[in-house]
Amino acid sequence: MHTKPNKALQTFPNPAPHRDYQIHMEIPEFTCLCPKTGQPDFATLMLDYIADKSCVELKSLKLYIWSFRDEGHFHEDVTNRILDDLVKATRPRFMRLTARFNVRGGIFTNVVTEHRKKGWKPAPKVELAEFSPQSNTRG
């Protein structure tokens, strides 16, 4: 039986609500239609959030992303709309969505938008030395 695209985002309880910790998701298969020309648009979405009581469920997120396949949306608009839906479903302490769209007319467009829960403040960041991924353990 076929699964189907679905705008309803499922959540599950945050397993570590006593902490501010970051969940990062990368969604490389977003596609919708251009409302002006009707032609397909493609983007990679980067989602970062600090959950409060709920986390977004992975499989429902996949079906949600799929639900845009036959819809027409402008770049700036659809990015803010997806953020709004994710915020409504999970009520996070913090959420940032980055959309990297495929080149059109020789120009690349990315949109970055975020939501902060009222009254929430991030702990001051502990700055450590950072290293690019180094664990090349295979041949």
Integer angstrom CA distances of residue 80 from 94, 98, 139? 15, 10, 42
- Is 41 designated active site? yes
Q: Which helix (H) or strand (E) holds 42?
A: strand 40-50
Q: Which of residues 70-89 bind a copy of itself (CB under 8 A)?
A: 74, 76-77, 79-80
CB of 75 to Ca ion, least distance (A): 15
User: What secondary structure letter does DSSP report for 72?
Assistant: B
- Of 22, 53, 71, 88, the one binding a copy of itself (CB under 8 A) is 22
CB of 2 to a copy of itself, least distance (A): 3
CB 46 within 8 A of CB 98: yes
Q: How far is CA 98 from the centre of its chain?
A: 7
Q: Which of residues 94-123 bind a copy of itself (CB under 8 A)?
A: 94, 96, 98, 100-114, 116, 122-123
Integer angstrom CA distances of residue 77 from 33, 73, 83, 110, 112? 13, 7, 10, 12, 11
Annotated catalytic residue, options 20, 32, 41, 70 = 41
- Is 32 designated active site? no
CB of 30 to a copy of itself, least distance (A): 10
With tokens 């705008």, the residue in question is: 7
127 binds a copy of itself (CB under 8 A): yes
Active site residues: 34, 41
Could you list the residues known to form a binding site for substrate, using ranges: 56-58, 75-76
Which parts of this chain interact with Ca ion (CB under 5 A)? Answer: 136, 138
